[in-house]
Amino acid sequence: MSQYNFSSRPERLDVMFGFDHALGYFVTVFKPNTEEDEALVDLCSLFNGLTGPQLVEEVENYNPPQGWPLRERQSGESLTWEQIRSRAFLDLAF
């Protein structure tokens, strides 16, 4: 499993994405500090047929940081969005 997140600008939305062995690719977008915990976007391979290239398109709607490392939540590995994008676009787990 891999899970990365960033805060989009200027919308100030929390974007979480990655690859999970059960769900496949996933993208979830939340508006922080709201009373509702409902996701604005909640897509995955298992329920929505999300592919790696579609994950790239969806995440790029929220202006991921270019050239800055994103830390993977469990392993602590850092990859830039460009590295993640190239792996996901080829439909490779990252």
Tell me the average pLDDT across 61-71: 93
Both tokens assigned to 58: 């969806």
Q: What are phi and psi of 61, to 5 degrees?
A: -65, -20
Rg of the chain's alpha carbons, rounded to an integer? 12
| Domain segments of the chain as ranges | 2-89
Full-prediction pTM beyond 0.75? yes
Q: Residue 81 — pLDDT band, cuts 50, 70, 90?
A: very high
Residue 12 has pLDDT above 90, yes or no: no
Under 8 Å CB-to-CB from 44, ≥6 apart: which residues? 20, 23, 24, 25, 26, 27, 50
Q: Residue 14 — pLDDT band, cuts 50, 70, 90?
A: very high
Beta partners for residue 29, in sequence order:
15, 41
